[in-house]
């Protein structure tokens, strides 16, 4: 009791509004979880803050619990609808939270041009299409119209797009 009397008025006000601070922080953390998906730390911490804030405010009053829960759920539904609407209109995609560039590992023409002049062997019959092996890499290749038997030595003459042309050595 003496400790309560020794506290200043500003400390008493802060202690009386801890529940409100917890509700605001919890609401903010849950909203952050809506924009950064995944059931991670912000969502869990926000839920704990919301429940603790309601418990500190309502204590044993069941009606106060229900009213607070209805208010919180209503506000979270509004925040979720704003989040979904923002994502649907593309605003979320323009934010700094979303990665815009996608890395791909497609083989382009410039990568295949590496094989021009390389020698290898056929692993299947080329009539005119088949498979050739160059430096241990099997590739779909085309001859210039001629029949090339399996096991024959071949050289890459040109690359057009994803088509590799070869000739018999």
Domain count, the chain: 2
Main-chain dihedrals φ then ψ at residue 134, nearest 5 degrees? -130, 120
Distance from C-alpha of 32 to C-alpha of 89, rounded to nearest angstrom:
19
Q: What percent of the chain has pLDDT over 90?
A: 41
Assess contact for 92 and 37: CB atoms under 8 A: no
**What CATH number is given to the structural domain containing 148?**
2.40.50.140
Q: What is the pTM of this model?
A: 0.47
Are 54 and 73 within 8 A, CB to CB?
no
Quick one: 90 and 113 in the same domain? no
Q: In the listed set 41, 59, 94, which residue is the last one of a domain according to the structure?
A: 94
Could you tell me if residue 104 is inside a domain?
A: no
Rg (CA), the chain: 34
Domain shared by 11 and 89, yes or no: yes
For residue 102, being part of any structural domain is answered with no
Confidence of residue 4 (pLDDT cuts 50, 70, 90): very low
Inside any domain, residue 101: no
Q: Say if 51 falls within a structural domain.
A: yes
Do 126 and 78 belong to one domain? no
Q: For residue 129, what are the domain limits?
A: 109-168
Q: Are residues 68 and 135 in the same domain?
A: no
Q: Are residues 63 and 132 in the same domain?
A: no
Tens-digit pLDDT profile for residues 38-48? 667 888 899 99
User: What pLDDT shows up at residue 42?
Assistant: 87
Is residue 1 in a domain?
Answer: no
């Amino acid at each position: 009791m003496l400790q309560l009397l020794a506290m200043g008025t500003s400390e008493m006000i802060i202690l009386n509004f801890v529940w409100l601070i917890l509700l605001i922080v919890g609401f903010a953390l849950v909203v952050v979880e809506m924009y950064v998906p995944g059931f991670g730390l912000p969502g869990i911490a926000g839920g704990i803050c919301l429940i603790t804030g309601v418990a500190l405010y309502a204590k044993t009053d069941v009606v106060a619990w229900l009213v607070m829960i209805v208010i919180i759920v209503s506000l979270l539904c509004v925040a979720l609808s704003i989040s979904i609407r923002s994502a649907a209109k593309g605003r979320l995609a323009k934010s700094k939270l979303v990665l815009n560039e996608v890395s791909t590992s497609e083989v382009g023409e410039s990568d295949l041009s590496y094989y021009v002049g390389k020698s290898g062997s056929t692993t299947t019959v080329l009539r005119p299409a088949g498979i050739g092996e160059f430096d241990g890499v099997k590739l779909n290749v085309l001859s210039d119209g001629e029949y090339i038997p399996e096991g024959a030595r071949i050289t890459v003459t040109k690359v057009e797009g994803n088509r590799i042309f070869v000739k018999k050595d």
